């Protein structure tokens, strides 16, 4: 009986947290994606970096400045820090991860740095939906001068 209890405890101690498992699923996005917003082509590149502890997204619209979003694990949730071409850095977090095999991850604004005034344009949230292994949807929410909105992007895997 004692051996059974010890082995069960060791197995639980060796299990990865649900947030780490959810991050591993997010890391499956690594590679190149493409999409359109109106007539503007957007190239999206995901790269696993920092010894596998961060997923970097480079969002590069044709003819416009690139933006970077870094995804990391923090305890029982995930963090997305967006380095915006507007010059600010919204940090968004998920709720505690309870389902590591997610189809969608919702990030809500925790704080923003780099804003000159409270009315500056800034992102306030992100929903990442993996439709299947080849299709990805992002819904970015934002605020500007007291008004809010959502921009939806759809991407297809290139490689």
Report the pLDDT value the prediction gives residue 15, as an integer from 0 to 100.
Answer: 87
Report the pLDDT value the prediction gives residue 12, as an integer from 0 to 100.
Answer: 59
Please tell me the distance from the alpha carbon of residue 152 to that of residue 6, in angstroms, as a whole number: 50
* Domain residue extents for the chain: 17-157
The 10s digit of each residue's pLDDT in 77-117 is 999 999 999 999 999 999 999 988 889 999 999 999 999 99
Report the pLDDT value the prediction gives residue 158, as an integer from 0 to 100.
Answer: 97
pLDDT at 47 over 90: yes
Report the pLDDT value the prediction gives residue 134, as an integer from 0 to 100.
Answer: 97
> Mean pLDDT over residues 9-27, rounded?
81
pLDDT band at 7 (very low <50, low <70, confident <90, very high): very low
pLDDT band at 17 (very low <50, low <70, confident <90, very high): very high
Q: What is the 3-state secondary structure (H, E, C) of 102-128?
A: CCEEEEEEEEEECCCCCCCCEEEEEEE
Q: Span 17-157: which CATH code?
A: 2.40.128.20
Report the pLDDT value the prediction gives residue 38, as an integer from 0 to 100.
Answer: 86
The continuous run of DSSP H or E covering 27 comes out as helix 18-27
């Amino acid at each position: 009986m004692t051996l059974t209890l010890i082995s069960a405890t060791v197995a639980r101690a060796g299990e990865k947290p649900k947030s780490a498992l959810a991050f591993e699923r997010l890391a499956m996005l690594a590679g190149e994606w493409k999409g359109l917003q109106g007539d503007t082509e957007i190239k999206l590149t995901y790269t696993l970096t920092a010894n596998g502890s961060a997923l970097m997204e480079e969002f590069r619209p044709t003819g416009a400045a690139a933006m970077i979003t870094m995804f990391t694990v923090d305890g029982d949730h995930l963090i997305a820090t967006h380095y915006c071409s507007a010059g600010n850095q919204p940090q968004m977090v998920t709720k505690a991860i309870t389902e590591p095999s997610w189809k969608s991850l919702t990030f809500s604004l925790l704080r923003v740095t780099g804003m000159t005034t409270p009315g500056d344009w800034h992102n306030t949230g992100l929903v990442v939906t993996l439709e299947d292994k080849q299709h990805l949807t992002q819904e970015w929410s934002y605020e500007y001068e007291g008004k809010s909105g959502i921009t939806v992007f759809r991407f297809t895997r290139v490689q």
